[in-house]
Amino acid sequence: MMVDLLKELCRVVLPLYPHKSLSTQVLVRQTPALGKHLSGRSRSCTSVNHRKLVRNGEEKKSVIWLEGNIASGKTTCLEYFSKTSEIEVLTEPVSKWRNVQGCNPLGLMYQDPSRWGLTLQTYVQLTMLDRHVLPMSAPIRMMERSIYSAKYIFVENLYKSGKMPEVDFAVLSEWFEWIIKNIAIPVDLIVYLQTSPQTCYERLKQRCREEEKVIPLEYLESIHNLYEDWLIHHKSFEVPAPVLVIPADHDLKKMLYQYEENREKILMAHC
C-alpha cells in the first residue's frame, strides 16, 4: 500500500517538477500554515512552491526570501541571521552589477535607464538565477531578494515609467517566464521589510553608494507601491509563498530587537 501511495504521489508531483530525477522516490509535504502573523496568500498559488520535496534520507530544507525597498535594511537583517548556525545567508550579487568584466551596468542604468535598463536587468536575472540554483549548505537559506522581485518590481517599474522600450520588456518577460516554468525556484517564506519611502531615502543618502546618488524620492515611492501591490494588497502578481511583514522604519537597535522577536516565525518556515 505504501508503494502504491508513493507511486500516486510521483504521478501527481513529478509533472510539476520536470527537472527532478525520476529515479528518486519523492514525498510531498504541505507547508504548515504560518499562522495569523502572515499575510494572506493569493488563492491561485497553492501548488508547486507551496509544497516541499523531501527525498528519502535527505533533510528537508527551507528557503526564505528577504524583500524590501532599496536601503530598507535587507543586508543588515541578513547579517544578523547569519550568526544562526542552521541558517545560511546569500547576499545580493550587487558587486557584480557594479562590475562585470570592468563594466558597471548598475551605474549605466541610473545614468540612462532607457538605454541600459535591459542590460542591467538581464544581468540581474542571470545572477539571481545563479543564486537560486546554488546547492544549499544549511537547513535554512535566507537570501536577499529574488528573481521574482527583480522582474515584478524593477523591470515593471522601468517599463511602467516609460523608461524601458516595449521590445526590451517583451524579451525580458519571455526570458523570465521560461525560467520560472523550467527551473525550480523554491521558496517557503517571504520576509518583507516594510518601510516608508522617506526612510529609505534618508538611509540612501547616508550610505552614499556612488551610482545611487541620482535616485530621487519618487523612484523609491514607485518601488514601494509596486511592493505593496504585490505582497500586501495582492493586486499585481502571484505571491509564491506566505509573507511575514516586519515594520522596518526603526533605528538599528529596535530593528535588531524586532529580528529577534521574529526569529521563531522565521525558523517556523523549516517546520
Is position 258 an interface residue for ligand TTP (rule: CB under 6 A)? no
* Amino acid at site 160: K
Q: How far is the CB of 85 from Mg ion (least distance, A)?
A: 22
Is position 75 an interface residue for Mg ion (rule: CB under 5 A)? yes
Is position 82 an interface residue for Mg ion (rule: CB under 5 A)? no
Q: How far is the CB of 35 from ligand TTP (least distance, A)?
A: 26
Q: Which of 144, 166, 177, 264 is catalytic?
A: 144
Q: Which of 185, 187, 178, 165 is nearest to 242 (CA)?
A: 187
Is position 76 an interface residue for Mg ion (rule: CB under 5 A)? no
Closest chain position to Mg ion (CB):
75
Which residue in 88, 92, 156, 188 binds ligand TTP (CB under 6 A)? Answer: 92
- Binds 124: which of Mg ion, ligand TTP, none (CB < 5-8 Å by kind): ligand TTP
The smaller minimum CB distance to Mg ion, of residues 75 and 82, is found at: 75
- Binds 156: which of Mg ion, ligand TTP, none (CB < 5-8 Å by kind): none
Respond yes or no: is residue 212 known to be catalytic: no
Is position 150 an interface residue for ligand TTP (rule: CB under 6 A)? yes
The smaller minimum CB distance to Mg ion, of residues 34 and 150, is found at: 150
Residue list 202-241, contact with ligand TTP (CB under 6 A)? 212
The smaller minimum CB distance to Mg ion, of residues 50 and 203, is found at: 203
Q: DSSP letters of the chain?
A: -HHHHHHHHHHHHGGG-TTS-TTS-EEEEEPPP--TTEEP--TT--SGGGEEEEETTPPP-EEEEEEESTTSSHHHHHHHHTTSTTEEEE---HHHHH-BTTB-HHHHHHH-HHHHHHHHHHHHHHHHHHHHTSPPSSSEEEEES-HHHIIIIIIHHHHHTT-S-HHHHHHHHHHHHHHHHHS----SEEEEEE--HHHHHHHHHHH--GGGGG--HHHHHHHHHHHIIIIIS--SS---S-EEEEE--S-HHHHHHHHHHTHHHHHGGG-
Which residue in 74, 131, 132, 234 binds ligand TTP (CB under 6 A)? Answer: 74
Planar angle of CA 128, 130, 134, nearest 5 degrees: 120
Residue list 49-68, contact with ligand TTP (CB under 6 A)? 68
Active site residue ranges: 144
Binding site for Mg ion (CB under 5 A): 74-75
Binding site for ligand TTP (CB under 6 A): 68, 70-75, 92, 94, 97, 106, 109, 120-121, 124, 145, 150, 154, 212
